[in-house]
């Protein structure tokens, strides 16, 4: 990802006042990778401000907003775009604020895990008929596009990485044409899931892409394994209660979980170059351990 200058909380508050005519009382930065996001407290309520990466086009932002609007028919707790403007030459969106605690900050049971699977299944089903030209784009975080990060293998010279690539090439790549395809959320991880009592909210449609339906499930499973250390079986059961998997999807699921772990390790290693304290670097050992465990189960 191309580096960019971050907007300060003070400048975000000032920009929101100018762009959206809001009486902003405070702006608090939210932890995001590709954009600048803030929690705004205003005299008329709370909002989320998302200021896009300088290189993100209007068409890409429109894809994200359109997918979000389309999925709202599912009845899930999702954000809504209130207004769109420009902040420091970058596309900015004002969205509704969803209260809740990120999944990684709260203890969960197997029942919670199964309900989360139902949530992703519902989201997947809601996007099944969504189309957008930019969804079918080259995208590093699309699990099916694992070969595009091949050159990053030099950053983590580990046999497990090589095995993960080989498994994808031998088991998944030859059967891509058999997999059900659609636009997917593509980023169902603990930071994008908020729990507020019985309400589960899903945020951040920044990674939506046209990919394999089962890849969306594989991504979620990879985050259940690490960092949450949860058995993914209840999650898969919940997902299938809404979206039953085809036999081919079940056959490649574990290989796609492995592929996603490989992606996470390599892309995060690339993002963290020059910053040894980056949290992605600190998580590499746990991700590699999970990767080795899954590979041993495959062999």
Say yes or no to pLDDT of 9 above 80: yes
Query: Which tens digit of pLDDT belongs to each residue from 13-40?
Result: 999 999 999 999 999 999 888 899 999 9
Query: Which tens digit of pLDDT belongs to each residue from 137-162?
Result: 999 999 999 999 999 999 999 999 99
* 102/222 Cα distance (integer angstroms): 17
Phi then psi for 289, rounded to 5 degrees? -60, -45
Q: What is the pLDDT of residue 5?
A: 83
Say yes or no to pLDDT of 6 above 80: yes
With contact defined as beta carbons under 8 Å apart, do 203 and 68 qualify?
Answer: no
Q: What is the pLDDT of residue 119?
A: 98
Q: At what angle do helices 279-298 and 213-225 cross, to 10 degrees?
A: 110
Domain(s) labelled CATH 3.30.200.20 in the chain stretch across 9-96
Count the Cβ atoms, other than its own, within 10 Å of residue 20: 20
- Residue recorded with tokens 């590979």: 295
Say yes or no to pLDDT of 3 above 80: no
* 49/93 Cα distance (integer angstroms): 6
Phi then psi for 288, rounded to 5 degrees? -65, -40
Say yes or no to pLDDT of 101 above 70: yes
With contact defined as beta carbons under 8 Å apart, do 232 and 221 qualify?
Answer: yes
CA-angle at 163, arms to 248 and 190, nearest 5°: 70
With contact defined as beta carbons under 8 Å apart, do 94 and 83 qualify?
Answer: yes
Say yes or no to pLDDT of 1 above 80: no
When pLDDT is cut at 50, 70 and 90, the band that residue 273 belongs to is confident
Domain(s) labelled CATH 3.90.1200.10 in the chain stretch across 101-298
Count the Cβ atoms, other than its own, within 10 Å of residue 198: 6
Q: What is the pLDDT of residue 280?
A: 60
Average pLDDT score, the chain: 94
Fold of 9-96: Phosphorylase Kinase; domain 1 (3.30.200)
Count the Cβ atoms, other than its own, within 10 Å of residue 124: 24
Using a pLDDT cut of 90, give the percent of the chain over it. Answer: 88
Using a pLDDT cut of 70, give the percent of the chain over it. Answer: 96
Q: How would CATH label the architecture of 101-298? A: Alpha-Beta Complex (3.90)
Say yes or no to pLDDT of 291 above 60: yes
pTM: 0.94
* φ/ψ bin of 274: left (φ > 0), alpha (ψ from -120 to 50), beta (otherwise): left
* 269/150 Cα distance (integer angstroms): 13
Query: Which tens digit of pLDDT belongs to each residue from 68-88?
Result: 999 999 999 999 999 999 998
């Amino acid at each position: 990802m191309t580096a960019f200058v971050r907007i300060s909380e003070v400048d975000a508050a000032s920009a929101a006042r100018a762009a959206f005519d809001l009486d902003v009382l405070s702006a608090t930065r939210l932890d995001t990778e590709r954009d600048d996001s803030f929690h705004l407290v205003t005299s008329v309520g709370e909002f989320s401000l998302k200021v896009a990466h300088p290189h993100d086009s209007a068409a890409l932002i429109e894809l994200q907003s359109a997918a979000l609007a389309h999925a709202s028919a599912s009845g899930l707790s999702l954000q809504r775009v209130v207004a769109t403007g420009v902040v420091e030459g970058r596309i900015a969106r004002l969205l509704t604020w969803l209260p809740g605690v990120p999944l990684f900050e709260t203890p969960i049971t197997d029942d919670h895990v199964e309900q989360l699977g139902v949530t992703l299944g519902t989201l997947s089903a809601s996007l099944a008929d969504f189309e957008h030209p930019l969804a079918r784009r080259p995208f590093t975080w699309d699990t099916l596009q694992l070969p595009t990060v091949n050159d990053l293998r030099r950053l983590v010279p580990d046999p497990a990485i090589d095995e993960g690539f080989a498994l994808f090439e031998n088991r998944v790549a030859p059967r891509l044409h058999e997999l059900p395809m659609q636009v997917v959320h593509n980023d169902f991880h603990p930071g994008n899931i908020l729990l507020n009592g019985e309400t589960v909210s899903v945020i951040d449609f920044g990674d939506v892409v046209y990919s394999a339906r089962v890849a969306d499930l594989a991504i979620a499973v990879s985050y259940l394994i690490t960092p949450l250390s949860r058995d993914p079986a209840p999650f898969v059961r919940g997902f299938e209660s809404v979206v039953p998997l085809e036999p081919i999807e079940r056959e490649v699921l574990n290989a796609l979980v492995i592929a996603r772990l490989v992606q996470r390790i390599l892309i995060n290693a690339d993002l963290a170059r020059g910053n040894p304290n980056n949290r992605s670097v600190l998580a590499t050992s746990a991700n590699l351990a999970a990767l080795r465990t899954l590979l041993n189960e495959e062999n």
